[in-house]
Structures are given as structure tokens and as C-alpha cells.
């Protein structure tokens, strides 16, 4: 993504001494302080908080009734059906409750609707199928909050229903079920509205068990996988659960998880939230996207190593098929845009698109154009759409405002689904764009950097390794973005068939090996030898047994020297690392003097113009330091008036001892500090 603005901390890295004294590295302590964690006690609570972070399940509305009915089903040995969604959250939710009920001795079967034939959520035909299986109780997971008609029909067939969901309730009446458990119910007292569907299902089991320990010991891997895949904030109890789940995923006990790690090439590597989100989740999701969600369910429930291997191979095959379909749809979408750059929400509709894949294409379009995107798969006179937000645009509210054009909709603020008649698409597109135009202008994409690194020691092996304590990274707890300003782009080398770049940056005599993914050399827009600002996250790279710090580039731009120049103009000194690069030599002073002579004996310009003053290619900040020293020695006058600055040569007798100026002495010490590192 191209960022229109970089938000870089105006000051350097502020290390919290109390946190350092408590044993945290300077880099970790600075990041904790940046995120509002200022004491060792708060740091321990955030980094390693335990069960005290778990909310009381009985604070969820109707939980007492849900737990009582499930206990009764266990006592009576009833047949229970678990109705889930076909995404990873729904699949893990269904497997969690199914496995737990089977362990209690019940006959229990999961039901995941076919995305192509049945669509999202409960339906009347499914109620008939479940009744024919002998079920007397249905537990919904990750769905059901809008299933009022299906709940009534199930009751008419003699089946009770417990609804557990985490989606918005909307304006629809709640289902008339035994219990409706959803942290987003109006007036909910539960402290965490950001539970995944699998998180709500976990709370139901906790309410029945009376304690979370045994459930987490057995199922934290499933709960974590669903929570990460549904992009829930990884803070508070979600963070605690995911941390436990990742520990289990790194020592997988389920044959299905082990087989999927092997088949995907992740076995033997550290399993992080990123691994779950970008390796495991897409493969589990592929089954539901292509209408075979039962493959993923069977994988997570099987005790057979052989069956697990076969199912994992099938999931990876489905994922490759999904990728091919996705590429075709994305190309079609660009064709429909006819090369134009959209300025309002994107609404595209076409025949033949795979309904299970259009959501991914919508996400890519939203990311590419920095706009909400809706992709609609048309089939005859009807269509089903997937919606993805961008920049904080609330999709759920937008669809509600345009609901006169829709047959139905549901979801979250960031992702939603809809159904629509073909002849209503144009009207819906116009209504959505008008709604968008009435809102305050969306912020342009900004790159927000957590810290500006002003000391290379902060990127030592020890400091970079310590960032692992902040994991798991994800929504609500993003991976830290660091930046180095005004570095030299020393080398650019294409790798991976030209799809990626290997870079080398140098600043103050310190060199950094970097990698930039999904960036071709011709797209970079920068050449070797240019000064750049770099936004990145650091990691430990292991190659043939050698470990080193590597910077993974998120964005590069031509160096913005104005902030550093303004510091010098305002009388502030650059930090040691910046200063080590800016220490003038005698030849630099000569160059500045001759530059002023060529300009008629002086220079005049606005403060922003100053960052463009580069005599002989000299860094403008070094020029300002030279002028500051020359002013103190009486060689020039420098006057600032408002937003402009004027410099004029002063003719003097004798020679000035510039090398002995206190600022020169300090800058030389800065340079000596980093020489030879």
C-alpha cells in the first residue's frame, strides 16, 4: 500500500528506566511505554496475565438458562446437534462443542451448512434434517442471532435451541429460543464484546463446567485458532486464551492439526498468530469457501493419523483451487473498473464468480484502492455479496441505511454479507455512494510508526528477541512498526524471481540487511545512493545456523529531512546516531562558503525550502550545522523571521577555528561512538 502520510514520533526512543530496571530490554520498555504501559506491574499484567483476565460467563445474558438446559441434556443423554458456520470461527466452534459433548457421553453431530446450496446461517430444511437425526436440542455456534423463524420451526418439531453467537443483533427480534447468548446483545453486562464465536461457545462450556481450566487444557488450540482467524482483538482474555492456544499448537496433540502443519510446510517451525492467520486459517477456510466445510470439521475431530493426512492433503488442494479462482475474480474486477480509479465504495456484480471466494477479492480491492468494496455473485435474478470495509467505514451501519435495496444482510462493521435482486444492484450502488458522501471525509492511508530508532543498540539481537514477549500479534495488539530516518539506500537486489527485494541500508556507519516482500525493483521508485526513511519490523533471521537481525520493510520513501532541519533551526541538537552522520569536515565548510558566494553572498527561503538546500549534494541538516557553527564564529549572519530564514556572508579578518567549536567536538564524539561498529 502507498501511504499518503507517515506519522513518525517527533522525538526519539523514550526508554522507561523503571521497566529496564525490572528486566525488560530498552526496546521492549520503550514500546510498552508507547502503548501506555508505564509500570512493571502493568507490564506483567499485559505480557503474562493469567486466568484473572477471564470474564465471568454468568454475566452474559441468558447464560444461566443455556447452562441449565445443556446440563439437562447431559443428564438425559439427549441427542444434540451443533449448528455452526462454514468459516474457521464457526468450524472450530462446532468442533469444540461437539468434542466436549461427546466426551460427556452424548451422541452429538455437527451441522455446517453448504455455502453454495444453503448459504449462511440456519434454514428450515436443515431443521428437518437435524430432526430426522433424532436431535432434541440444537446449539448454534457463531450464528443464529437472526434465526427467529428457524427457532420457531425447530420448536414446532419438538427441538429446543440454545443460540450462541457474537454477531450484531441488528433490528431483528431475537429468536424465541431457550437462551440467546451473545455479548453484543443490547444492555449486555459482559466486559468483552469482542469474543469470537468460538469464545462465546467456550463461555457456555465454562458455565456448565464451573471452571475454565479443564476446557482450556483440552481445547485452547481450537479456541485460539477461531479467535485469530476471525480477527478478534488480541487483548485481555482473548490474548490470554490465544497465548495458551499457541503453546498447544507448538506441541500439537490433534492428529488433524499435526497433519495440516506437515502438509502446509509449517511443521517444525514456530507457530505464531501469523502462522495461524496466514497458513492454517486459509486452508481450513478453503473447505467452507468451496462448499466442503465437512472436510475441515472431520480433520479437527479425527483421532486417526491416516485420515488426518488424507484430509490435510485435500484441504491444501482446495486452497490451491481457491487461489486460482481468486486470481481470476480479481482480474475480472479490474476489468469491470475499466482502468479507472474509484473514489467511492466499490460495488461490482457479475455472473460466474464463485460465491465462496468473492470475499477475498473484495478484501484485496479494498486494500488496493483504500475504499470499502462489495463483490456480488449473480445467479439468475438474485445475487449474494461479500462486503469488506476500509478506513473505519462501518459496513453494518451502511447496509442498514441502504437496506431498502437489499433482501437481507448481516455481519460486522468490518465485514458483512448481503443478498440482493439483480435489478436492485444499480440503485443499491447509488444509495451506498450517497451514504458514503454524506459521511465526514475518510482519512487517507497513514503509516503510523511506534518508534523512531535513534540508537542502533536498540536493534541488537537481545532487543529484537525480546519483542517476542509482545506476541501474539494481531488485531488490537499489532506488531510494532519501527522506523529509521535519513538512511542511505546502499544496495537493492531483486530476489524470488524479481517479486521481492533484498536491501542494504546504512546509517552512521551501521549497516542493516533488509528484505521487502511483494515489491519489484521498478515499483520501488528509489535508486541506490538515495537517502531514505524506512518503516519496518525487525526479526531474527536464521540461515545455515547463522542468526542475525533482519529488517522486514513495510514502506520506504525519500528521506523527509524537514523535521531534522527544524530541530537544528530551533536550536536542538541531533541525537548521537543522526549526529554521527552529520559531522562536518573542513571541506564541507568550504563548500558551504562557495555555495553562498555563488548565490550572491547569501541565501533566503521558507523553512520548508531549507530541506531542499543541498550544496554539492550535502545533506541539508549538515548544511544547517555548518551555518550554525559559522554564525557562532562570525563568518555568517543567520536570521529567522516568521516562517523564513536569511543567511548572509560576513567578511572577517583572520581565520576561524571551526574545529574547536563545542558543537564540532560533540559531533566528532558522536562519530567516534559508531565508527568500527
Instruction: Please give the residue range of the domain that contains residue 388.
Output: 338-438
Give the C-alpha separation, 202 to 318, whole Å.
29
Identify the pLDDT of residue 417. Answer: 92
Cβ contact 248:221 at 8 Å: yes
Among 529, 558, 587, the domain-final residue is 558
Q: Give the CATH number of the domain where residue 113 resides.
A: 3.90.1640.30
507 and 607 both lie in a single domain = no
192 and 318 both lie in a single domain = no
Residue 403 is assigned to a structural domain of this protein: yes
Please list, in sequence order, all residues whose beta carbon lies within 8 angstroms of the beta carbon of residue 115, skipping any fewer than 6 positions away.
86, 288, 289, 290, 291, 293, 355, 356
Residue 621 is assigned to a structural domain of this protein: yes
Low-confidence ranges of the chain (pLDDT < 50): none
Furthest-apart CA atoms within the chain: distance in Å: 107
569 and 598 both lie in a single domain = yes
- The domain tally of the chain equals 5
Residue 59's CB is within 10 A of a number of other CB atoms, namely 14
Residue 50 is assigned to a structural domain of this protein: no
505 and 418 both lie in a single domain = no
554 and 566 both lie in a single domain = no
551 and 454 both lie in a single domain = yes
Identify the pLDDT of residue 379. Answer: 92
Q: What three-state secondary structure class fits 675?
A: coil
Q: Give the CATH number of the domain where residue 399 resides.
A: 3.10.310.30
- The residue behind cell 510446510 is 265
110 exposure class (CB count in 10 Å sphere: 0-12, 13-18, 19+): buried
Identify the pLDDT of residue 413. Answer: 87
- The residue behind cell 465526514 is 440
Q: DSSP letters of 328-396? A: HHHHHHHHHHTT---SS-EEEEEES--TTTHHHHHHHHHHHHTS-EEEEEEETTEEEEEEE--TT--HH
Give the C-alpha separation, 579 to 566, whole Å.
14
Give the C-alpha separation, 157 to 149, whole Å.
13
Q: DSSP letters of 617-644? A: G--HHHHHHHHHHHHHTTSEEEEEETTE
566 and 554 both lie in a single domain = no
Residue 243 is assigned to a structural domain of this protein: no
Residue 315 is assigned to a structural domain of this protein: yes
Cβ contact 405:431 at 8 Å: yes
572 and 553 both lie in a single domain = no
Residue 619 is assigned to a structural domain of this protein: yes
18 and 142 both lie in a single domain = no
Phi, psi of 282 (to 5 degrees): -60, -35
Q: DSSP letters of 550-570? A: EEEEEEEEE---HHHHHHHHT
Record the cell numbers describing residue 654, joined without a space.
Answer: 583572520
350 and 227 both lie in a single domain = no
Residue 445 is assigned to a structural domain of this protein: no
pLDDT tens string 567-602: 787 778 787 877 888 889 999 999 999 999 998 898
Identify the pLDDT of residue 10. Answer: 64
Q: What is the pTM of this model?
A: 0.82
- The residue behind cell 555563488 is 598
471 and 327 both lie in a single domain = no
Among 530, 558, 586, the domain-final residue is 558
567 and 664 both lie in a single domain = yes
Give the C-alpha separation, 347 to 304, whole Å.
45
Residue 269 is assigned to a structural domain of this protein: yes
Among 508, 529, 558, the domain-final residue is 558
Amino acid at each position: 500500500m502507498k501511504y499518503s502520510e507517515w506519522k513518525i514520533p517527533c522525538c526519539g526512543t523514550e526508554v522507561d528506566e523503571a521497566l529496564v530496571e525490572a528486566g525488560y530490554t530498552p526496546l521492549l520498555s520503550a514500546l510498552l511505554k508507547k502503548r501506555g504501559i508505564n509500570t512493571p506491574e502493568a507490564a506483567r499484567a499485559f505480557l503474562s496475565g493469567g486466568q484473572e483476565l477471564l470474564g465471568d460467563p454468568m454475566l452474559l445474558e441468558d447464560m444461566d438458562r443455556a447452562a441449565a438446559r445443556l446440563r439437562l441434556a447431559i443428564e438425559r443423554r439427549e441427542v444434540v446437534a451443533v449448528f455452526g458456520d462454514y468459516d474457521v470461527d464457526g468450524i472450530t466452534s462446532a468442533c469444540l462443542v461437539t468434542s466436549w459433548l461427546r466426551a460427556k457421553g452424548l451422541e452429538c453431530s455437527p451441522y455446517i451448512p453448504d455455502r453454495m446450496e444453503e448459504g449462511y446461517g440456519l434454514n428450515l430444511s436443515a431443521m428437518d434434517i437435524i430432526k430426522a437425526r433424532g436431535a432434541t436440542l440444537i446449539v448454534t455456534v457463531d450464528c443464529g442471532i437472526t434465526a427467529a423463524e428457524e427457532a420457531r420451526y425447530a420448536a414446532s418439531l419438538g427441538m429446543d435451541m440454545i443460540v450462541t453467537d457474537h454477531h450484531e443483533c441488528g433490528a431483528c427480534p431475537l429468536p424465541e429460543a431457550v437462551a440467546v447468548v451473545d455479548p453484543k446483545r443490547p444492555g449486555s453486562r459482559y466486559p468483552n464484546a469482542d469474543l469470537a464465536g468460538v469464545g462465546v461457545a467456550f463461555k457456555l462450556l465454562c458455565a456448565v463446567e464451573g471452571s475454565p481450566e479443564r476446557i482450556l487444557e483440552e481445547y485452547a488450540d481450537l479456541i485460539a485458532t477461531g479467535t485469530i482467524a476471525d480477527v478478534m482483538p488480541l487483548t485481555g482474555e482473548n490474548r490470554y486464551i490465544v497465548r495458551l492456544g499457541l503453546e498447544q499448537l507448538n506441541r500439537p496433540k490433534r492428529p488433524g492439526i499435526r497433519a495440516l502443519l506437515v502438509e502446509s510446510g509449517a511443521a517444525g517451525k514456530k507457530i505464531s498468530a501469523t502462522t495461524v492467520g496466514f497458513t492454517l486459517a486459509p486452508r481450513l477456510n478453503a473447505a467452507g469457501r468451496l462448499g466442503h466445510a465437512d472436510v475441515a470439521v472431520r480433520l479437527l475431530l479425527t483421532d486417526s493419523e491416516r485420515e488426518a493426512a488424507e484430509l490435510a492433503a485435500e484441504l491444501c488442494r482446495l486452497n490451491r483451487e481457491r487461489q486460482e479462482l481468486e486470481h481470476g475474480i480479481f482480474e475480472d474486477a479490474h476489468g469491470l473498473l475499466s482502468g479507472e480509479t474509484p473514489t467511492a465504495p466499490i460495488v461490482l456484480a457479475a455472473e460466474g464468480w464463485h460465491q465462496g471466494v468473492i470475499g477475498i477479492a473484495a478484501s484485496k480491492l479494498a486494500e488496493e484502492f483504500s475504499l470499502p468494496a462489495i463483490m456480488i455473485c449473480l445467479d439468475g435474478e438474485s445475487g449474494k455479496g461479500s462486503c469488506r470495509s476500509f478506513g473505519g467505514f462501518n459496513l453494518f451501519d451502511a447496509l442498514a441505511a441502504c437496506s431498502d435495496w437489499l433482501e437481507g444482510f448481516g455481519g460486522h462493521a468490518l465485514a458483512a454479507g448481503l443478498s440482493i435482486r439483480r435489478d436492485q444492484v444499480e440503485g443499491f450502488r447509488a444509495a451506498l455512494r450517497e451514504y458514503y458522501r454524506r459521511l465526514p471525509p475518510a482519512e487517507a492511508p497513514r503509516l503510523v510508526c511506534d518508534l523512531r530508532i535513534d540508537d542502533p543498540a536498540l536493534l541488537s539481537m537481545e532487543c529484537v528477541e525480546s519483542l517476542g514477549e509482545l506476541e501474539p500479534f494481531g488485531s488490537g495488539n499489532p506488531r510494532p512498526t519501527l522506523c529509521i530516518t535519513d538512511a542511505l539506500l546502499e544496495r537493492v537486489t531483486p530476489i524470488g524471481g524479481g517479486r521481492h527485494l533484498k536491501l542494504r541500508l546504512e546509517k552512521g556507519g551501521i549497516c542493516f540487511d533488509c528484505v521487502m516482500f511483494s515489491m519489484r525493483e521498478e515499483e520501488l521508485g528509489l535508486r541506490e545512493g538515495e537517502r531514505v526513511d524506512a518503516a519496518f519490523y525487525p526479526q531474527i533471521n536464521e540461515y545455515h545456523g547463522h542468526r542475525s537481525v533482519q529488517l522486514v520493510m513495510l514502506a520506504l520513501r525519500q528521506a523527509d529531512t524537514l523535521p531534522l532541519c527544524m530541530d537544528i533551526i530551533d536550536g536542538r541538537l541531533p541525537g548521537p546516531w543522526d549526529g554521527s552522520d552529520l559531522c562536518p569536515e573542513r571541506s564541507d565548510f568550504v563548500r558551504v562558503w562557495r555555495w553562498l558566494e555563488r548565490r550572491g553572498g547569501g541565501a533566503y527561503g521558507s523553512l520548508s525550502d531549507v530541506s531542499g538546500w543541498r550544496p554539492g549534494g550535502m545533506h541539508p541538516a549538515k548544511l544547517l550545522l555548518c551555518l550554525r557553527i559559522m554564525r557562532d564564529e562570525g563568518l555568517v549572519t543567520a536570521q529567522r523571521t516568521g516562517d523564513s530564514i536569511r543567511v548572509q556572508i560576513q567578511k572577517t579578518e583572520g581565520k576561524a577555528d571551526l574545529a574547536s567549536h563545542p558543537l564540532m567536538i560533540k559531533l566528532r564524539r558522536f562519530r567516534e561512538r559508531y565508527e568500527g561498529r
